[in-house]
Amino acid sequence: MTHYINPEERLTLDRIQAIVDGHETLALSDQAKQRIERCRNYINQKMATQKEPIYGVTTGFGSLCNISISAEQLSQLQKNLVMSHACGVGDEVPQEVVRLMLLLKAQNFCFGYSGAQLQTVQRMVDCYNEDVLPVVYQQGSLGASGDLCPLANLMLPAILGMGEVYWKGRRCDVAEVYAHYGWQPITLQSKEGLALLNGTQFMSSYAVWSLLKARRLSIQADMLLSLSLDAFDGRIEPFYDALHRVRPHKGQLQTAANVRRMTEGSEIIRRHKAHVQDPYSFRCAPQVHGAAKDTIAYVASVVETEINSTTDNPIVLPDEDMIISGGHFHGEPLAMVLDFLAIALAELGSISERRTYQLIDAKRGLPSFLVAKPGLNSGFMIPQYAAAAIASQSKQLCTPCSVDSIPSSQNQEDLVSMGGNAATKCYRVAENTERILAIELFNAAQALDFRHQEGLKSSPFIEKMVADYRKCVNFVDIDEIMYRHIHASVAFLQQMEVPAQAE
């Protein structure tokens, strides 16, 4: 299938998920081509008729905005910009995020307010379709004049034919790719280099990836809560709909409904309980999971607005006959919500780790550390340590990036968002939460098997989930090498079919 990039159709997270899952190719719609060419033609006409300097078109950049550049040097100016700004360091950006950067940059240009050449945008589409993925690094963006550094590393190979890419499963010099496809480096026209680098596609691509992961983790957290609740012999009353109608936060209602649905038909849930209350990690889970759901929904609304916007500078407005230097590249909207999303995901991890601890603590008929002969066997003692260590790291990562700023460009850029750091740390927290949930699954399935030994069954939904899980992770009778089981649990969560969210 092919996804047509169209300025008249809103790009949603669901649509991006379908593009990724369906391995769809990209193409520019006729509407996109028309808008791109119209804007480029307008800039060319403006340069031919206007004598006054136009920032980013006939001038230098940043604090060098007062230096005019001659017409003969404009192309070299744009090329110099990309080369000089490609100074990323640190770990490489994951390839799935680089793909999103190419998609979202082409989406940004399709609205026709940036001045890029049609062939420049088409080259991004070609790189996406041929799986030519530039080597981009995680560190270097202030998230202010756009994601200058990582976007320069993205465009250096894709547009200028310099640098390295991943192609056909290996890392190579981009010159090899250009020779294979018969591509030529694109000669940049006025403003193009600035349009390529001034944008929020590094931040927004990480945000999209983290949101897609977060939506999945939110449902899985409810699934594992349901499993742990039954394995712990917990009470269902804190999940009753009537209770939550008197404090009707949407995410809270959804979580409670999910747990009721997933535990329906359980023999364990409906048996008499000697205890009158459960610990907060069970009893208050609708409130905690629900707050995370509401956060995810809010962040998604901001990110969808961002990816359907033009975020470079200056903005070219042919209908108004204006080229305006503003601040649409500033990452503050993304920086704040990425900090918020990281906090929500960290809380899902924190409460999951607490449930894991409750399961190994020799309560409600479960053996110490979930093994029949504790002492000789350490059982599930250390998986909880691992979950606690990961949860602690996520908490440390949740120090907000968006409140920090270090001025740059001779103090012309005197308050920056640090959204690039917010983006990469949110990605790490999402991966951490997935690992913590996998450890909860490992523990809860073990605990449920002890309930089976009592002759009790959980709900059909939970029993099927655990039966599927047991195909890759066995019951632990005596001490085994545990990391293999944890890694298999992570893989199980990544591949499992996830039910729809309750409405």
Burial of 163 (0-12, 13-18, 19+ CB in 10 A): buried
* Helix-helix angle 201-231:419-453, to 10 degrees: 20
* The two three-digit tokens of residue 433, written as one number: 């939460």
Q: What is the 8-class DSSP label of residue 164?
A: E
Per-position DSSP letters for 221-280, written without gaps between them? HHHHHHHHHHHTT--SGGG-HHHHTTS--HHHHHHHHHHHHHHTT-HHHHS--S-S---H
The CA distance from 123 to 374, in Å, is 62
Contact indicator for 104, 205 with CB cutoff of 8 Å: yes
Tokens for 35?
A: 């808008």
Q: How many CB atoms lie within 10 A of CB 14?
A: 12
Return the number of other C-beta atoms located less than 10 Å from residue 407's C-beta.
Answer: 13
What the block records as the tokens of 428 is: 């790490």
Q: Which one-letter amino acid corresponds to residue 409?
A: S
Rounded to the nearest angstrom, the gap between the alpha carbon of residue 81 and the centroid of all alpha carbons in its chain is 28
Residue 130 token pair: 């041929």
Kindly report whether the peptide bond that precedes residue 150 is cis, defined as omega within 30 degrees of 0. Answer: no
Residue 185, exposed/middle/buried by CB under 10 A (0-12, 13-18, 19+)? Answer: middle
Closest CA to 107 of 130, 124, 129: 124
First to last CA, the chain: 30
Q: Which residues are catalytic?
A: 55
489 in Cβ contact with 445 (< 8 Å): no
Task: Find residue 374's DSSP bridge partners.
Answer: 377
